[in-house]
Amino acid sequence: MRVTVGAASYAGKPWEVATDISIFTRHGVERIMKFAFEAARSRAKKHITVATKSNAQRNGLVVWDEIAAAEVAAQFPDVTCDKMLVDAMTARVVLTPESLDTIVPTNLHAGILSDLASALAGSIGIAPTSNLDPTRENPSMFEPVHGSAFDIAGKDLANPIATFWTVAEMLSWLGQKGAAAELLECVESVCK
C-alpha cells in the first residue's frame, strides 16, 4: 500500500531549485492506515508492518508512525502491528518474507520494497500494481509494474504474467472474486 502525492521542480530557470517535500496530512495518513488495517484484517495472518524512515525524517514520518501505531491500531485490536525502518525492512523482505503480510510504507519506500519483492519473486516483469481509492468515489487504476516495455516490443520477449495478475487484482476489486481466483490460479500454475 502506498500514498501517491507531492513534489515540485523549477528546472532551467536562473533560480533553479528542485524540491521533494513529503507532506503527510492527518486525513491522508489515517485514510491509508485504515485501508491497510482493513486489508490486513481480511487476511489470515491479520498482521501489518508499517515501514518508514522516521529516524531520519523526524516530523512527517514520526506522525506516520504515531497515527499508525497509537491511533489507528487501537481501532483494530484483532490485527497485530509492528514498525520497521525501511532500510531494515529490505533485509526482512529478503531473509524472512514469510514474517510479512500487509506492508504500509510511504510511496517512495513502497517503490523500493515492491521492486525488491518483485525481483525476489523472479522478475519485476511479473508483478501487478494498483492505485486504489478506498472510498470508491473515484476510479482506481490497475497496471503491470513493468509499464509498457517499449524496448522489447516486437521481439517475442514480453511476459504476460503481470498483465493477467493485474487483471485478477482488478476483478477482485470490482467484486468478481470467483473470476479473480480462477485467473490467479492460472497465473500460479504457470509460475510453478
Count of structural domains, the chain: 2
Question: Helices 161-173 & 177-191, crossing angle to 10 degrees?
Answer: 160
81 and 39 both lie in a single domain: yes
Q: Mean pLDDT in the chain?
A: 87
- Does residue 183 contact residue 171 with C-beta atoms inside 8 Å? yes
Q: What is the C-alpha separation between 179 and 51, in angstroms, rounded?
A: 32
pLDDT of amino acid 192: 76
- Which of 66, 88, 121 is the endpoint of a domain? 121
Are 117 and 187 in the same domain? Answer: no
Express each pLDDT in 165-183 by its tens digit: 999 999 999 999 999 999 9
Distance CA 115, CA 120 (A): 9
Q: In terms of domains, do 107 and 16 share one? A: yes
Domain that holds residue 192: 123-192
pLDDT tens digits for range 89-103: 999 999 999 999 999
Parallel, antiparallel, or unpaired: how do β-strands 8-9 and 128-131 relate?
unpaired
109/88 same-domain check: yes
One domain, residues 22 and 106: yes
Q: Where is the domain boundary, 121, 138, 161?
A: 121
Q: Are residues 21 and 74 in the same domain?
A: yes
